[in-house]
Amino acid sequence: MGTFDTLLIANRGEIACRIIRTARDLGLRTVAVYSDADAEALHVSMADEAHRVGHAPATDSYLNIDAILAAAKASSAEAIHPGYGFLSENADFARAVEDAGLIFVGPSAEAIEIMGDKAIAKAHMLNASVPCVPGYQGDDQTDATLLSHARDIGVPLMVKAAAGGGGKGMRLVTDVDDLPEALALARTEASAAFGNETLILERAMQNARHIEVQVFADHAGNTIALGERDCSVQRRHQKVIEEAPAPGATPNLRKRMEKAAIAAAQSVGYVGAGTVEFLLDENGEDFYFLEMNTRLQVEHPVTEMVAGLDLVELQIAVAQGKPLPVSQEDVTLSGHAIEVRLYAEDPANGFLPSIGKIHKFETDNTIRIDTGVRYGDEVSPHYDPMLAKLIAYGDTRDEALRALTRSLDNTAVLGVTTNVPFLRDLLDHAEVQNRAATTSFLDDTYPDGPPKTAITSQTIALAAVLLLRSESDAAQAQSLLPDTSLAGFSSDGGLPIPLDLSLDGDLHNLTATGVGTGHITVSGDGWTHNISNDLRIDGLRTTVHHAPDGTGGLFLQTAGHHLHVTRAQPWATTDAASTGALTAPMPGLLVTLNVATGDTVQKGDTLAVLEAMKMQHQLTAAADGVVAALHVETGQQLSKGALILTMEDPT
C-alpha cells in the first residue's frame, strides 16, 4: 500500500489495454510486458514503455514471475496490476511482488490462497454462515471415501478440482457407478492444469442460474457490493453472455446475496475488487456459494455501466491506500447492460480456435467495445482466443439487447473465423429473450456445437462477383490493365466466362456473364442469380463484408458465414517429379508473365495475368517451387486448359 506513479500491467490483450486506458487517464505512467508473439501487439504500443519477458509460450513469458519482476525493476515501476488470467490469482506471485517492495494491485496472498482452493474456501464459507452447496471437501481423497460421500450426497453430482477453475477438472456424474472413472479423469486434468489432484464433491445444481456479486473493499475494512451479474449462458463452464442486473432478481434477493458476498469477503480480510459467485436454485430463492474470484472479472464492464463506476480506477485508488469513495448506501444501479465475448473460434467445428492475420476489424461505435487487437494483427495459437468484448447499455433490458444485436450485425472480423454469427443467433434465442436461460441451456441446446449451415447459392454468386471485382482492382492497382478507359464496356452482349471457385476448399464450377457491366449474372448447378453493382442479389439488399487476403483471394463475411474465397487453381499433375503445371482456367489473352525459367517463387505469388472479357485474372502459385519451363509467350491468345508453365520442387 502506498502511492505510485508507474504501473506495470502483467498481462496482454484486451485487459491490458483496458487497464492502460484508465491508468493513463489518472496520469500514471504505464509499462507493458510482452512475449515474442506480442512484440507488435496493441497493448505494447499503448503503454509508455514495454519490456520483453520471454518466448511465445505463456510459461516462458506471462507466467514467468522472475521475468516480470525484472521488467518492473528495469522500468522503475512501483506497482503491478495482474489483470485477469495468467498470474492474477497466483498467491506466490502476489507475495513475490510484495517481497520485491512493490505494490500488488489486488488482495493479499493469504486471501488468494484461501479462495483459490475450493475445499478450503468452502470450509471457510461454512464457518462464515455463507450458504454452500451440500457436498464433501475433506482431506481423505481415497476413492472409497469419495464414493461413500457421493452416495450420501446423491446424484447428479459434480466432481471438481479443488484448485483452479475454467471448467478444468470438472465432471458431471449421473450414476454412482460412473464415479471412479470421473475421479480418474478429473485428477488427471487437475494435475496437468494446476499441479494439484485434490477433488471436492458437490450436489449438481441442474437448471440453476449462475449469479455473481461484485464486491469491493479497502484497507480500512470497508466492504461494499455493487450489485449482481447473471452469467448463466455458458458453454462447458465458460461464460458467453453476461448481464447486469440479473433478469428477474428481486430487491430482496439482491440484498440477501450482497449480504452473503460481503460476509465472504470480510471473512478473509479481502482488499480490492473481487467476485463472489453463487448458484441460484430454479426456485429463484435459494442460492449457494460457488467460488470467489480474487481479481477483476472479464465481465466487469456490465457492472461499471449500471453502477456508473470505473472498477480499475477503484482498484488503483485502494492499492494506494485511499478509502472507497462510496458507501453501500451510495450505490445505485441504473439501466441494464449486456456483454458478449467475441472469440476467434469456429463454433460449427467444435469451437476450435482460429488463428491467422486479421484482414479487417470493424465494430459498431454506438456501444462499448473493449479489445486488444486491430487490423493487421496476428491471432496467436499460444493464448486465449478472445478478441473483444461487446457491451451494450440501455434504460431497459430490451433496449440493451437491441443495441447489442445491431452492433453484432455491424461487426466484421475477416481473416479468422469468429463466433459473431453464433452470438447473433443466441441473442434471438427464446431462452435468452425470455430471461429463462440456465447454466445447462447452452450445452443442452448445442451438445455438439451449433450445426454448420449450408452456403446458399446467393452467397456463392456474391462471392464470385466480389472475387472478380477484387481481381480487377488488384490488376488496375498494379497497372496491368493496358487501357482502363474501356474497362466497363462490353460490345458483345457479355459472353459467359467459366469460373472455378473455392469456398473454404469446396469447389464450385460457375459461369459469369456480363462481366464489366453494371449487372453480372452468375450461374451454377441448377441456379442463376443477378448481382448488381451495389451488390443487390436479384434486386434484394444484402449485408456483406470483404477484404483481400493478400494472395489473390478474399475473405468474405455474409449471411452468417465467414468464407475464404479463391479461384480453384488451374494446376495439373505432370509425369515429372515436379510440383505441377499452371494451365489457363479459361480462354483469354496472356497479358503478363511475371516469371522466367529458373525463378524461385512462393505459394501465392502472381505468376501470370490472363485477360478475359475485359477482366484481369491473376494466376498464382499453388505451392513453393522453381519455374522449370515456360510454354507460352506474353500476348498469346490461350484456349482453356492451355499449358502456361511447369514447376519443380525447390529442393
- Could you write out the DSSP letters of every residue in 244-276? ESPTT--HHHHHHHHHHHHHHHHTTT--EEEEE
Which cell numbers hold the place of 237? 463452464
Instruction: Give residues with Cβ within 8 angstroms of 531, minimum separation 6.
Output: 461, 462, 465, 519, 520, 521, 522, 537
Does 517 have pLDDT greater than 70? yes
Give φ, ψ of 414 to 5 degrees: -115, 145
**Overall average pLDDT of the 434-457 stretch:** 89
Asked if residues 228 and 249 have their Cβ atoms less than 8 Å apart, the reply is yes
The beta strand positions in 446-603, using DSSP E, are: 497-503, 506-513, 519-523, 528-532, 544-548, 554-558, 561-567, 571-572, 580-583, 588-593, 600-601
Strand partners, 203: 157
**What's the pLDDT at 504?**
84
Asked if residues 61 and 67 have their Cβ atoms less than 8 Å apart, the reply is yes
CA dist 569 → 117, 471, 565, 584 (Å)? 56, 14, 12, 10
The per-residue pLDDT of the chain, averaged, comes to: 90
CA dist 533 → 316, 517, 530, 536 (Å)? 54, 8, 10, 7
Between CA 344 and CA 26 the distance in angstroms is 32
Does 437 have pLDDT greater than 60? yes
Of 3.90.1640.10, 3.20.20.370, 2.40.50.100, 3.30.450.20, the CATH number of 571-648 is 2.40.50.100
The SS3 of residue 95 is helix
- Catalytic site includes residue 295: yes
Which cell numbers hold the place of 40? 507488435
**Overall average pLDDT of the 509-531 stretch:** 91
**What's the pLDDT at 452?**
84
Asked if residues 393 and 346 have their Cβ atoms less than 8 Å apart, the reply is no
**What's the pLDDT at 494?**
61
Higher pLDDT, 373 or 196: 373
pLDDT over 90 percentage in the chain: 69
Query: Looking at domain 137-203, what is its CATH homologous superfamily?
Result: ATP-grasp fold, A domain (3.30.1490.20)
The SS3 of residue 501 is strand
**In 3D, which of 404, 410, 402, 406 has the Cα closest to residue 389?**
404
Q: Tell me if the bond preceding 156 is cis, omega within 30° of 0.
A: yes
Most confident of 69-73, 113-117, 164-168: 69-73
Between CA 261 and CA 277 the distance in angstroms is 8
Positions of CATH 2.40.50.100 in the chain = 571-648
Name the band, by pLDDT with cuts 50, 70 and 90, for residue 318: very high
Asked if residues 462 and 542 have their Cβ atoms less than 8 Å apart, the reply is yes
To 5 degrees, how large is the angle CA 327–CA 332–CA 334? 160
**What's the pLDDT at 587?**
66
**In 3D, which of 625, 626, 645 has the Cα closest to residue 634?**
645
Positions of CATH 3.30.1490.20 in the chain = 137-203
Query: Looking at domain 209-445, what is its CATH homologous superfamily?
Result: ATP-grasp fold, B domain (3.30.470.20)
Q: What is the CATH number of domain 6-105?
A: 3.40.50.20
What does the chain come to in residues? 651
pLDDT tens-digit readout, 542-576:
999 999 998 889 999 998 899 999 887 665 544 43
Torsion sign (Cα): 275, 280, 285, 289: negative
**What's the pLDDT at 484?**
38
**What's the pLDDT at 551?**
83
Look up residue 137 and give its amino acid. Answer: Q
Asked if residues 440 and 207 have their Cβ atoms less than 8 Å apart, the reply is yes
pLDDT tens-digit readout, 182-202:
999 899 888 877 888 999 999
Does 285 have pLDDT greater than 80? yes
Which cell numbers hold the place of 637? 491468345
**In 3D, which of 8, 12, 9 has the Cα closest to residue 386?**
12
Q: Where are the alpha helices (DSSP H) in 356-429?
A: 397-409, 420-428
Does 277 have pLDDT greater than 50? yes
Instruction: Give residues with Cβ within 8 angstroms of 624, minimum separation 6.
Output: 579, 600, 601, 602, 603, 650
Between CA 318 and CA 326 the distance in angstroms is 12
Name the band, by pLDDT with cuts 50, 70 and 90, for residue 1: low
Give me the catalytic one of 18, 229, 235, 295. Answer: 295
Positions of CATH 3.30.470.20 in the chain = 209-445
**What's the pLDDT at 619?**
85
pLDDT tens-digit readout, 201-256:
999 888 899 999 999 999 999 999 999 999 999 987 789 999 999 999 999 999 99
Strands 29-35 and 6-9: parallel
pTM of structure: 0.82
To 10 degrees, what angle do helices 109-116 and 118-127 make?
A: 100
**What's the pLDDT at 569?**
63
HSE on the CB side for 341, CA within 13 Å? 21
The SS3 of residue 600 is strand
Name which of 6-15, 33-42, 314-323, 543-552 the model is least confident about.
543-552
**In 3D, which of 263, 337, 295 has the Cα closest to residue 15?**
295
The SS3 of residue 522 is strand
